[in-house]
Amino acid sequence: MRRNILPIGAVITAALWPIADILAANGAAAVPPKEGFEWALGLIVAGLIAAAAVTFLVGTFRRGATIVAPLMVCFFGYAALEPLLGKLVGLMGLHNGRPFLYAVVFGAFAIWLLKSSTQALTQRWALMAPIAFLASSCVLAALAGGWTTPHAVAREMPKLSASGNVYHFLFDGLARPEVLKSKLDLTVIDSNAAFSRLGFVVPEHVVAAYPWTTESVSSILNLGAAPGPGEKFRVESSAVVQEFRRSGYHYGRYGEVFASLVCSGDEDVCVSTKSGLSEFDTTMLRRTPIYPAVRRRLASSTSSRTLPSNLRRIAETRLPQPTYFFSYMVPPHPPYFFSKACKAEGNNSDFRTWGKVGIERYGYAYNCTISAMLRAAKTIEQRDPTAIIIVSGDHGTMFKHAGPARGAWPIAAREERFPVFLAIRGPARCHLSFAHITYLPKLYPAVFACLQRPSAPRTTSSPNVSS
């Protein structure tokens, strides 16, 4: 048993590595705890069974693990190798030959491992490799650490008038068009003008409280507060959802991707992707060579790639009156899936592609997101003329700020990252207060003030929050 500690450890670390790598790249918010645990357990069991099966071919478990553990790392590292393979098949003049070439490389590596699996030195290196991968991902994750501290929110306010539905469509990384132009020389749809034409109020110079998704979404829905260290942010237990609930609203959700931003089961209405695969499932699949084969099937079901149809489904969903509906969607944030013509394309699982090549693809994603949202807003307006519709980002882009490290933001990066798009459609009496929002956590205080019954008891101070 003792001599099998290293082989078992190697299989377990190989199974944990893809999850640790996603964590290192995207932070804890990208891995829903339950799904992360299920994937980890499933991969560990599958890896150990595979190693035991190979043991029948090669004689000892140590040799079985020597073959299985590094192959698991290669399998889940496909996405990282794919660009290199793409160059190679390009040079060889093969089109769509990447999975084929990968099979050849993968097969040759497997045969080499099989042949040399009797050599103690190869065994040791092969078994140490997954551990090295896991360790490097853990170091990267630790370097990306450093968390913002929360501040308390105290509040007491009159109930909201339950008059119409309230929709909030939050798009990750939805920047302001004039900031994209001035900071990145990127011309996109003039979303300010387009939403104004639809009767939305588009306040100028809105900035987010935090440059990161979970903290920013929390600061919006918890009226200024970000989750503390180790504290979980959940939309359903946020101050905003609680306030709507208290005032007799139903609560609806569209959910995808990040841990706390999927439907939890507490919703009265949940619109989610049809495939049953979460964004985390597809993120894991996208790392593997299986993905090119199932891409077309997934394309019709995964959430980010089908943003227009998901928005249409939300807009056409008959909600119980009144409902507060919150939707979080990843685009225009990477990974980028849209062509210039808004067709879903690409095999990308990298949530960090804020590089030079990314600017153009971000522009496509931006235009597709805005066009689809404008269509959805028109549909909602026709069906539900009194609805309040909020369209916002959580932060801007980060093309000038390399790496996932928290803190240490140069001014140029701050000027790019913090300004955020916001547009609100609501009754004319609220337009002035909407127009004066300059700070994203002040969004809901303005919406609540708008929704309070004129006959409600008045507070002496501002009827929202202290922060």
Angstrom CA distances, 205 to 161, 168, 201, 215, 396, stand at 29, 19, 13, 20, 12
Cβ 395 to Zn ion shortest distance, Å: 5
Nearer to Zn ion, 78 or 354 (CB): 354
Nearer to Zn ion, 13 or 310 (CB): 310
Nearer to Zn ion, 72 or 174 (CB): 174
**Total chain residues near Zn ion (CB under 5 A):** 3
**Which range binds Zn ion by CB under 5 A, 52-60, 170-178, 244-252, 336-344?**
170-178
Q: Enumerate residues 6+ apart whose C-beta is below 8 A from 358.
A: 334, 336, 399
Considering the rule CB under 5 A, would residue 172 count as an interface residue with Zn ion? yes
Q: For residues 296 and 309, what is the distance between their CA atoms, to the nearest angstrom?
A: 16
**Which range binds Zn ion by CB under 5 A, 132-140, 165-173, 199-207, 271-279?**
165-173
Cβ 324 to Zn ion shortest distance, Å: 21
Considering the rule CB under 5 A, would residue 213 count as an interface residue with Zn ion? yes
The alpha carbon dihedral of 312, 314, 318, 321 has a sign of: negative
DSSP state of 416: H
Cβ 226 to Zn ion shortest distance, Å: 13
- The SS3 assignment for 68 reads helix
Q: Enumerate residues 6+ apart whose C-beta is below 8 A from 41.
A: none
Binding mask 371-410 for Zn ion (x = CB under 5 A): -----------------------x----------------
Cβ 208 to Zn ion shortest distance, Å: 9
With contact defined as beta carbons under 8 Å apart, do 226 and 150 qualify? Answer: yes
Cβ 172 to Zn ion shortest distance, Å: 4
- Give me the residue label for tokens 């944990």: 16
CA 84 to chain CA centroid, nearest Å: 26
C-beta atoms surrounding 452 within 10 Å: 18
Considering the rule CB under 5 A, would residue 256 count as an interface residue with Zn ion? no
Considering the rule CB under 5 A, would residue 82 count as an interface residue with Zn ion? no
**Strands, E, within 345-413: which ranges?**
388-393
Whose CB is nearest to Zn ion?
213
Cβ 408 to Zn ion shortest distance, Å: 18
Write out the residues near Zn ion by the rule CB under 5 A: 172, 213, 394
